[in-house]
Amino acid sequence: MTGATQKREHAGHSHHHHHHDNTFLLSKNKNDAGVRITKIGLYVNLGMAVSKGFGGYVFNSQALIADAIHSLTDLVSDIMTLATVGWSLKPPTDRFPSGYGKVESLGSLGVSGILLAGGFFMGWTALLALCKQFFPEAAEIAEHWGLIPHHHHHGIEDMGPNINAIWLAAGSIVIKEWLYRATLKIAKERKSTVLASNAYHHRVDSLTAFVALLLIAGSNVLNNAKWLDPVGGLVISLMVVQAGWGNTKQALLELADVGVDQEMKDNVRKAAMSAVEGITTTSEPVNVRAIQGVKAGQNYLMDVEIGVSGAWTVEQTRHVENLIRERIGANVRGVKKVRVRFVANSAEAPDFLDEFIPGDPTATPNPASEGQHDHDHDHNHDHKHETTDTDARRRNCHRRLADMLLQKIIAVLTMSRHEFIRCPIISRKRTGAAAGTAGKIACDVACPSMWVLRQCIIVGSDLKLIHEAKVDFDADLSKYGIEKGVLTNPDEGEVFAPVALWLEAIDLVLQRLKEQGADFSKVQGISGAGMQHGTVFWSKDAETLLGSLDAGKTLLEQLESGAKGERKGAFSHPFSPNWQDASTQKQCDAFDATLQEPRNLALATGSSAHHRFSGPQILRFHDKYPEAYKATARISLVSSFLASIFLGKVAPIDISDVTGANLWDIKNGRWHEDLLALAAGGSEGVEDLRKKLGNVPEDGGSSFGTVSPYFSKRYGFPSSAQVIAFTGDNPSTILALPLRASDAIVSLGTSTTFLMSTPQYRPDPAYHFMNHPTTAGLYMFMLCYKNGGLAREHIRDAINKASGTSSDKSWDKFNETALTTPALGQAQPSDPMRLGLFFPRPEIVPNVKAGTWRFLSKDNQLSPIAPEAAQAKTEDKSWPVPQADARAILESQFLSLRLRSQSLVSPQGSLPAQPRRIYMVGGGAVNPAIAELAGQVLGGSDGVYKLEIGGNACALGAAYKAAWGVQRSSPQEKFEDFLEARWNEEGFVKKICEGYRKGVFEQYGDALKAFDEVEKVALREKGEEEGYEVWITRNSDPTVIWIWDEQPGCEFCKRDFGLA
């Protein structure tokens, strides 16, 4: 196996070290390469020192004598090398916890110092010889005064070097060059600086011998050239000094703990990344943030900083630490110690200097006693406590701290997929000493919750209503020509909303709260939620306009100033696509194709491509409005758009909301390069789109900064109020309840959404997996259907019309009909089952165009009943339309949820697999017929519940998120722990009906197979693969449907897709 390569510098020469295992140079194994080459060098140096010295004297060569002296330094180097390397490789001890590697550095310093001293000595000797030749009188005076040593002349100096000395020089060149190459090869393998220094001794010796050869030859060829010999000695001495200084410097730097070079850092980083890349137990990625290290002889001592979720346990960090240490030790040659430190992913840029304890120039020689220490809190008070506090006293301290924290207010502004603005504010009544002011509320948690929004409510810590304000888009802002809060372009399937509408709604709802007496001055934190997937396109002037808002003017006046046909305000495009948009089929096909198939896209991003997802929407915007795309400086999701308004600058996208874009690589925690290139129109646009989208903080509870001065001056928010990360409406909804294992949320609004929290990342094209909005290690499982409340309303209206009900908006007749109709329309077990699909708009799950299907199922046979468009009364008694549709649409919607979620639930005691609890939220949660059918079809061993506090779980979840962001004791405090400590079961939720009904639950279970066949028929007739002869199959996973353009009969299909 070829080792990694590290480039090092020695005395101006560059070479590479290959990673292999260390070997003791003093090993008793005579075949050890390091020992053998060092001993060979030692014997050669001994022989050459004697022969060169004798030859230099006999042949009268100053250069050869200098070379002999150099060989002596090599001899000493060999001895010192053998003396230090073995010691340096001893294992660590208590006294030397980092090992003895520095001993080798000391040895290298000694060897290099000898080489340096030898060079100076040779140079000095050569200078004296030159002085005697050119300035004999001065030399005699200096000798007389003892400034230079007195030499006895033997009568041969004036003869010049003998030509026979050249043979000694030539032999030295050959031998020394071979020793250099052999020693350096082993030095690279051992990563040994002392061996490298020794190798360079051989190389310098070879070079000095070469110079000596030239000078001896020149002295004998040229007349009166005996001065060339000492000149040669001087040149050789300079070369020796240069090599000696280079190695001395390297040894000194190692002793001073200079950092390792970049290539070693890269090798360690690569090994560490390979160790953590397979960790998938957390929604936040495990990042290798920084590498540093020092060299001690042949040993490298490395520090690795790993970014993880702040919620990690000691056991998790210890496990990852061992993985990293083992992988680095196995893959990176020379690393003997790895220290791993863990920090939260949200921490500032890595800087190992923060580990040093700075000196305190004001410290006194009499510090406080160890039993006491001071704490300086934001509440401007000091207190002392003894380190021997009992657990009870510590808990009392924690309670006092919690009481102080509860005096703060958290504001949450959320934007949801409904048509209004909702704002809960949570407060806490004083007790005890403040009992006399029971009527006065001290607000602790405020949540102006805005979305495409509904209402703004203010409640206390007991969640009782204090204030409420709302903006009904259709009623209050009808001037925009909207219906249900949106505009449509049916020809292209576009559904969108004017951004100006939202700007005006923000000022309007806050003004209404202010008029009611809401005290914004106590707000300490602002967070919220926004409709998922929608995008807002900021202009290049946006940051300037957001940062200079005038409190005397409205948001609309300052941010959306472009007249028709021009763009002058904060937005490069005046509209934002709505979640109901269906105009991006071409772009969705491209997203699926980029990673070969929908399953691969789902594995990478948590979802296959969907019309409403931000990635396909951005690609369509790029293609349809190229000039507007170029003029776009930043792109926000609706949640980060709302956060930006309150922050006064463009805010980052939330870690959970970003996973609804088909652009975020969930496993690796970064933008997906291939998908960015697709959305940007090519690889050349990737960096530009990356800048438009910005960085994504990994901590869902982090603060983006303080509230914009606009809101402080206009509405009275304190300038210190923190803006906590805003998330999507669905992620926010899952925060409204302390979900346990197998608990599920069914959100019944314009759409129908099914949510579960799970530690397992099991993505599939049939549903969505997203990062949990607060908790690393958890994911949010989501099913989303376009045809939710609107589809139910169509049937309600038809039933009211057929029955002559005076109010077409009443649900009474619908509910009565649904509850009096037997399950699946089976008055007797032998009757056929009624199964239908009701999609007045194109559906997501399954992916079909608008349509209605009704079937009778008996003996595994489907019989179509009633024309597709039928909504009026029919004479067919087996399926009276529209009366039978009331129960059929509810059963259809809940059967689809059960079909796709059954692999994620587990048996509850002796009961079959089903959710533990079903929590109903949204407008449909108050309908008793819908709740009853949810329990019958989906089960729920503990029953079906709805929130008692607030009508909008999305807003409530945002309020909890804001409270957690401001009040959590540390980034490591989990959201679930924070919420559980404040959760009041009786006051928060209410059981509205039973869930599991023996017999009925099993009856619906028996209908799943037939319902699956109904969906297949719909896919054949109106699936998005229309135009092909399609074959529809399921594998062992009942949540997956495969669509083929030919019969899947090949062995490849059977093997890879599990098809019979």
| DSSP letter for each residue of 22-90 | ---TT-S-TT-HHHHHHHHHHHHHHHHHHHHHHHHHHTT-HHHHHHHHHHHHHHHHHHHHHHHHHHHTS
Helices (H) and strands (E) in the chain, counts: 32, 38
Asked if residues 894 and 937 have their Cβ atoms less than 8 Å apart, the reply is yes
How long a stretch of residues is the chain? 1060
Longest Cα pair distance anywhere in the chain, in angstroms? 140
CATH architecture of the domain with residue range 262-351: 2-Layer Sandwich (3.30)
User: DSSP code of 832?
Assistant: P
Q: Name residue 748's beta-bridge partners.
A: 752
User: DSSP code of 595?
Assistant: T
Angle of CA points 19, 23, 24, to nearest 5°: 145
pLDDT of residue 181: 86
What distance, in Å, lies between the first and last C-alpha atoms of the chain?
Answer: 44
Asked if residues 896 and 839 have their Cβ atoms less than 8 Å apart, the reply is no
Q: Name residue 304's beta-bridge partners.
A: 291, 340
> In 3-state terms, what secondary structure has residue 773?
coil
User: DSSP code of 861?
Assistant: E
Instruction: Dig out the tokens for 209 from the structure.
Output: 């011998």
Superfamily in which the 31-255 domain is placed by CATH? Cation efflux protein transmembrane domain (1.20.1510.10)
Q: Name residue 862's beta-bridge partners.
A: 857
> In 3-state terms, what secondary structure has residue 616?
helix
Phi, psi of 243 (to 5 degrees): -65, -40
> In 3-state terms, what secondary structure has residue 401?
helix
Using alpha carbons, list the distances in angstroms from residue 162 to 63, 86, 106, 222, 839: 12, 44, 41, 13, 108
Using alpha carbons, list the distances in angstroms from residue 450 to 550, 752, 795, 889, 955: 22, 20, 30, 31, 8
User: DSSP code of 159?
Assistant: G
Instruction: Dig out the tokens for 787 from the structure.
Output: 């045809």
> In 3-state terms, what secondary structure has residue 129?
helix
Asked if residues 926 and 935 have their Cβ atoms less than 8 Å apart, the reply is no
Sign of torsion over alpha carbons 395, 401, 406, 412: negative
d(CA 224, CA 228): 9
pLDDT of residue 11: 32
Asked if residues 208 and 240 have their Cβ atoms less than 8 Å apart, the reply is yes
d(CA 153, CA 161): 15
**Could you tell me whether strands 335-344 and 441-445 are parallel, antiparallel, or unpaired per DSSP bridges?**
unpaired
Using alpha carbons, list the distances in angstroms from residue 557 to 120, 500, 549, 551, 632: 81, 9, 10, 11, 20
Domain boundaries, the chain: 31-255, 262-351, 788-904+996-1015, 1027-1060
Neighbours of 626 (CB within 10 A): 11
Asked if residues 929 and 818 have their Cβ atoms less than 8 Å apart, the reply is yes
Sign of torsion over alpha carbons 927, 929, 931, 937: negative
> In 3-state terms, what secondary structure has residue 276?
helix
Using alpha carbons, list the distances in angstroms from residue 401 to 5, 365, 860: 55, 33, 64
943: left (phi over 0), alpha (psi -120 to 50) or beta: left
What is the mean pLDDT for each group of 10 consecutive residues in the chain (1060 residues)?
35 33 41 70 78 73 66 67 65 71 73 76 77 67 54 42 69 83 79 69 74 71 65 74 77 77 86 78 74 81 84 77 84 84 73 56 39 38 40 46 37 38 34 28 29 45 58 90 92 94 93 88 86 94 95 94 64 94 93 91 93 95 95 96 96 95 93 95 94 94 94 94 92 85 85 86 87 89 88 93 82 95 94 95 87 93 70 64 95 95 83 92 89 96 83 78 85 84 80 94 95 93 50 34 34 33
pLDDT of residue 451: 34
Asked if residues 454 and 470 have their Cβ atoms less than 8 Å apart, the reply is yes
727-757 exposure pattern, b = at least 16 Cβ within 10 A, e = fewer: bbbbbbbbbbbbbeebbbbbbbbbbbbbbbb
Contacts 24+ apart (CB under 8 A), 677-686: 678/590, 678/591, 678/594, 678/615, 678/619, 679/615, 679/616, 679/618, 679/619, 679/622, 680/622, 681/619, 681/622, 681/623
| CA-closest candidate to residue 313, choices 282, 346, 271, 349 | 282
Give per-residue pLDDT as tens, 166-186: 777 788 788 888 888 888 888
